[in-house]
Structure 1
Amino acid sequence: MRPLVLASASPRRAELLRQMGLSFTVLPVDVDETPRPDEPAVTYVERLAREKANVGFARAEHPDCLVIGSDTSVVLAGAILGKPRTIADAAAMLAGLSGQTHKVMTAVALAGGHGCFARLVVTDVRFRVLSDVEIDAYCQTGEPMDKAGAYGIQGKGGIFVDGLWGSYSAVVGLPLDATAALLTEAGEPVWMHWNQSGDEPL
């Protein structure tokens, strides 16, 4: 496989790539995540994924590498919920999500010598009604502070979810099926590299 690079510092995305049986290097990148005026959420999420992948490809040491960029946004009634800046901000986000169905939009982009291609995955997630006490307790754990929408479905925040329609891995931060499809389209189907990544044959 051509060298694979993950343009993200997210341990969750790295774990999902390892789950796919892939070997890769991590190259965190910084891009301006400010939404543009009147920018729809679907456009915003895909734009950031592409920007991360392209910046990573420009910085990568190997000219023949493939670079994965991804972005996840929680969208409630059309409003993008980013990462909370304070505990009070996190509590307000969680109170807004309580008892509601929201959308988790995750885009994944693959950049290389072939250009940059992206896919968007939208998942509906429903929260049960949350009490003020448990919102406060969750915020005090610190878990919400680096996560879009102020919760991590793969962590303690998973107890708030009572319904999900779509891709669980996309809610965590990287849609496995869409990522595999992009790699296949780039001539690097994931399954061809499973045993090369150190997996023992069944």
Structure 2
Amino acid sequence: MRFVLASASPARRAVLGAAGIDPIVRVSGVDEDAVTAALGDPTPTDLVVALAEAKAEAVRPGVAAEFPDSVVIACDSMLLMDFGDGPEVVGKPGTVDIARRRWKRMAGGTGELLTGHAVELFSGGELVARAKDSAATTVRFADITDEELDAYLTTGEPLAVAGGFTLDGLGGWFVEGVDGDPSSVIGISLPLTRKLLASVGVGVVTLWRDQEVRAHPAG
């Protein structure tokens, strides 16, 4: 059984790696704007799940041919914020100006990081089972100073990540805390992924790297 991650995200790969899985990476190349436009007016949860499903579907033919006995996980994350004029779902800023405006509004507040997950199981090159769901985690942002924000934007890190921040990178300095699953904020919820794998008949412990899951000494 091969484990395929339908994402180019190094953060998702790192989360899985630390949890005993060295995934095969296949990038979906999905046009997220096109998928979003085709949905009409989805709820925030429906949106992230639909985007995850689209990524899994995009890699499906290649995975079925290359890894006939495998399981695929695809994810998509967005930040749900209420800036005072109603809830707004925000993805990757893309530009410094957009990231700056968002951070000015996010600083000192809270948001809900939503991550959609889609799992597909292949046997003999055939898709035999699918599962999907989402995870939500509340993120509490620090009152970042103008100097800190300028420095953070200069790194380029916030431009290509959901909500314009990371928990496991430089952005972690500006997150006061999370209420919920931290791995979901990084991009893939380990608890939810375990449940989805179980729902398609795959026990996560069977995917751990041989001899590489070991106890860490205290201290």
Q: TM-score, normalised to structure 1's length?
A: 0.92
Distance 1:160-1:186 versus aligned 2 partners, 3 A rule: same
How far is the alpha carbon of 1:100 from its aligned partner?
Answer: 1.0
Matches of 2:207 and 2:72 in 1, distance apart? 17
- SS of 1:119 mapped into structure 2: strand
- SS of 1:9 mapped into structure 2: coil
- SS of 1:8 mapped into structure 2: coil
CA deviations over 1:127-146 (Å, ceiling 9, x no partner): 12222221111101111121
For 1:10, give the aligned amino acid: S
Distance 1:24-1:128 versus aligned 2 partners, 3 A rule: closer
Structure 2 partner of 1:104: 113
Matches of 1:192 and 1:86 in 2, distance apart? 42
Whether 2:30 is the aligned partner of 1:31: answer yes
Whether 2:36 is the aligned partner of 1:22: answer no
Distance 1:200-1:18 versus aligned 2 partners, 3 A rule: closer
Structure 2 partner of 1:89: 98
Structure 2 partner of 1:76: 81
Distance 1:25-1:40 versus aligned 2 partners, 3 A rule: same
Matches of 1:51 and 1:115 in 2, distance apart? 16
Matches of 2:141 and 2:207 in 1, distance apart? 38
Matches of 1:118 and 1:172 in 2, distance apart? 18
For 1:38, give the aligned amino acid: D
How far is the alpha carbon of 1:58 from its aligned partner?
Answer: 2.2
Give the alignment of 1:145-160 within 5 angstroms: 145-160=159-174
Q: TM-score, normalised to structure 2's length?
A: 0.85
Distance 1:201-1:127 versus aligned 2 partners, 3 A rule: closer
Q: How many residue pairs get matched? A: 200
For 2:67, give the aligned amino acid: H
| Cα RMSD after superposing both structures | 1.6
Runs of 5+ in structure 1 lacking a partner?
none
Matches of 2:206 and 2:3 in 1, distance apart? 14
Whether 2:149 is the aligned partner of 1:140: answer no
How far is the alpha carbon of 1:186 from its aligned partner?
Answer: 2.2
Give the alignment of 1:5-20 within 5 angstroms: 5-20=4-19
- SS of 1:197 mapped into structure 2: coil
Say if 1:72 and 1:105, in contact at 8 Å, map to a contact too.
Answer: yes
More displaced, 81-90 or 28-37? 28-37
Q: Percent identity?
A: 34
More displaced, 185-194 or 120-129? 185-194
- SS of 1:164 mapped into structure 2: strand
Distance 1:63-1:124 versus aligned 2 partners, 3 A rule: same
Matches of 1:106 and 1:170 in 2, distance apart? 6
Say if 2:20 and 2:212, in contact at 8 Å, map to a contact too.
Answer: yes
Distance 1:57-1:140 versus aligned 2 partners, 3 A rule: same
Structure 2 partner of 1:67: 72
Task: Specify which of 181, 191, 195 is matched with residue 205 of structure 2.
Answer: 191
For 1:63, give the aligned amino acid: P
| Displacement over 4 Å in runs of 4+ | none
How far is the alpha carbon of 1:86 from its aligned partner?
Answer: 1.2
Whether 2:162 is the aligned partner of 1:162: answer no
More displaced, 46-55 or 58-67? 58-67
Say if 2:131 and 2:200, in contact at 8 Å, map to a contact too.
Answer: no
Say if 2:107 and 2:141, in contact at 8 Å, map to a contact too.
Answer: yes
